[in-house]
Amino acid sequence: MSNSKAEPNPLLKPWTADFDLPPFADITTAHFMPAMEAAMAQHLAEIDEITNNNAAPSFDNTIAALEQTGEQLGRVASVFYSLAGTDTNDEIQAIERELSPKMAAHMSAISLNQELFKRVDELFENRQTLKLDDEPLRVLERHHMRFVRSGAKLTPDNKTKMAQISQRLAELITQFGQNVLADEAGYQMVLDSDADLAGLPQSARDAAKEAASAKGLDGKYVITLARSSIEGFVTFSARRDLREQAFNAWISRGANGDKSDNHDLIAQIVKLRAQRASLLGYDNYAAYSLDDTMAKTPKNVHGLLDAVWQRAKARALQERDDLQELARAQGDNVDLQPWDWRYYAEKQRKALYDLDENEIKPYLQLDNMIAAAFDCATKLFGVTFKERQDLPRYHPDVRIWEVHYDDGRAPAIFMGDYFARPSKRSGAWMNAFRSQEKLRGDIRPVIFNVMNFSKPAVGQPALLSFDDARTLFHEFGHALHGLLSDVTFSSIAGTAVTRDFVELPSQLYEHWLSQPEVLEKFALHCQTGEPMPAALLKRLKDAETFNMGFSTVEYTSSALVDLELHCKPLSEVESDFDVARYEREALARIDMPSEIVMRHRLTHFLHLFAGGYAAAYYSYMWSEVMDADAFGAFKDAGDIFDGDTAARLKRHIYSAGNRTDPEDAYIAFRGRAPQIDALLKGRGLSAVDAV
């Protein structure tokens, strides 16, 4: 972005770029707070117009009108919060800390507005007499539910408490995310000798060299806390001491007893969430959170997680014994530790399947994997992609494509931001600068994906691990959910669905990556251009469920600890709640294998404390039951691109947004409810006895 201040504020002027893209080059950090404050004031004025309307409430003058408020605020906020996640700095973080409670107060002023709720409530109570079609009826019901869940029916005193809780939570959540980013950005492990590089493949060395160069350490190598960097290092490094050092830095984010420590923030967040749930009449926050999901209750979530946990643990314990035996067989007199698992698992995979990551990565070039994801979308849904070099972007690494539809709709925009950098938070996600809608005209979506792959040296291709490639397909599945959206109202567009349904389109899309038809076409060697050999494809397929006990224990333990934490009543977290002790004891209660660490320890669990997955990390597995079952529909059809099946999938899932109850939507696509058997089979756990 430019450092020169442009007047008037470019965020508040009409955006004249194609597709209404933000004028990134004209925006400075000084523009954000004035623009946000002006946009919030305009939003409240729009709300006042609705509440001051003397006409009796109708769908058009209340719900449709409400849908059209806050457009300017949404535009400005989309730019600010996107940059806060992808290209932040000290100034942006300071604005974020100042802005978060103001935004929370602003939203509370609307959701707790008694006169506005009276109009919505009157329509809701009389909804059966309004003769609304299915979609507007769904929108009315969702608006009413959001008001109620925000506290619209509370007494005035409790509304004040609810607003205070929301503001304080916004502050704490912002600080939590910034603390994790500070620990990630502040860490580097410098490697400067051949001994330090022992075991690392050339691709990992190149990525570490590029990371060092970006930090001004030319001639050296740097391991960062980007997942693609750290996981690659602990998988291949022959230096056990350095693996331990790097791994402990990775799992200690937010837990170092310094100014970035998150233990106290978590205790405050959990307490405030329990207070919110109590005010609304729920026993605990999990009960409140899950009430608006497919799962409905903590008991139902426990049923799923427990069924998987015992099988996963049994498999993981067998895997542990096998790895311990392998270590000793090759003369390593060690007791297996968490920083050893990936290292020996990679050797085990090589021994069992003649397969290792070094052999696979040259075939998984980033550009080809992007092309593969696009090609599958073309075959399934009739969308095509044309790269644009001339459109504004918030960072030079961002790539932009026009998305064209086979039904004649105007094109949309997809952006991809693929490489890790210190100014970007870790992880991978999808978001939107603009969501699809039809209420104010044919508004086409502007969707973007963010990844954290290691950036290659100049002139070298970016090579992905298979997990990286899977992440790319996963996030592009989310992107398609936004790009294919075809609803009238923006509040139910794209990914605006329940948390345990939103992962279905993304996880389902992962399945196409591992299909031979896709890999044969796009998994081309970075040097020779030759396709991945059939023998390697077979070995890759044969190894699909290798180490699945480990990965399932990593994930499921995180989901169980999340659920138990948010099932605690207010009385148990109101004072002196020891987060570190809770984590230790919760893992002991489920008999967590000591050789495996939760995929996300609480102090850096961004999903829970800086995202929307509190009491809902189980959602990935809940959706996996559906995605495994849903891909079975294509297998049943005998064609992974079967036209009729893809048309049903598009109509009922990818384009439908939240137009329909998610369970009904899934049944409309599949013809029946999902079955857990497909998940267990897909993870290789169906034949495993529980422990």
> Residues 237-248: what's their mean pLDDT?
98
Residues 148 and 22 in one domain: yes
Residues 195 and 291 in one domain: no
399-417, pLDDT tens digit by residue? Answer: 999 999 999 999 999 999 9
Residues 118 and 48 in one domain: yes
In the set 210, 357, 475, 624, the catalytic residue is: 475
Lowest mean pLDDT: which of 7-16, 36-45, 371-380, 598-607?
7-16
Residues 224 and 99 in one domain: no
Within its chain, how far is the Cα of 478 from the centroid?
9
Residues 106 and 147 in one domain: yes
Q: Domain ends where: 586, 617, 648?
A: 617
User: H helices of 567-618, where?
Assistant: 570-573, 579-589, 606-609
Q: Using an 8 Å Cβ cutoff, are 614 and 653 in contact? A: no
In a domain, 161, yes or no: no
In a domain, 613, yes or no: yes
Q: Using an 8 Å Cβ cutoff, are 419 and 451 in contact? A: yes
Instruction: pLDDT band for 691, please (50, 70, 90 cuts).
Output: low
The string of DSSP codes covering 22-40 is --GGG--GGGHHHHHHHHH
642 CB neighbour count, 10 Å cutoff: 17
Residues 138 and 191 in one domain: no
Instruction: pLDDT band for 3, please (50, 70, 90 cuts).
Output: very low
Domain enclosing residue 60, as ranges: 18-111+113-153
Residues 79 and 147 in one domain: yes
- The token pair that represents 118 in the structure block: 């009276």
Query: 78: domain CATH number?
Result: 1.20.1050.40
Residues 107 and 32 in one domain: yes
565-594, pLDDT tens digit by residue? Answer: 999 999 999 999 999 999 999 999 999 999
Residues 220 and 319 in one domain: no
Helix, strand, or coil here: 416?
Answer: strand
Q: 503 an active-site residue?
A: no
- The token pair that represents 500 in the structure block: 């345990």
Residues 75 and 146 in one domain: yes
Question: Which element (helix H / strand E) includes 385?
Answer: strand 383-388
In a domain, 1, yes or no: no
User: H helices of 151-258, where?
Assistant: 156-186, 202-214, 227-236, 240-251
Alpha-carbon gap, residue 136 to 131, rounded angstroms: 10
Residues 107 and 39 in one domain: yes
Count of domains forming the chain: 3
Specify the pLDDT at position 357. 83
649-680, pLDDT tens digit by residue? Answer: 999 999 999 999 999 999 999 999 998 888 88
In a domain, 131, yes or no: yes
Alpha-carbon gap, residue 567 to 561, rounded angstroms: 10
- The token pair that represents 437 in the structure block: 């809608």
Residues 123 and 192 in one domain: no
Between 691 and 520, the higher pLDDT residue: 520
Res. 631: pLDDT tops 80:
yes
- The token pair that represents 408 in the structure block: 């004649």
Q: Domain ends where: 582, 598, 617?
A: 617
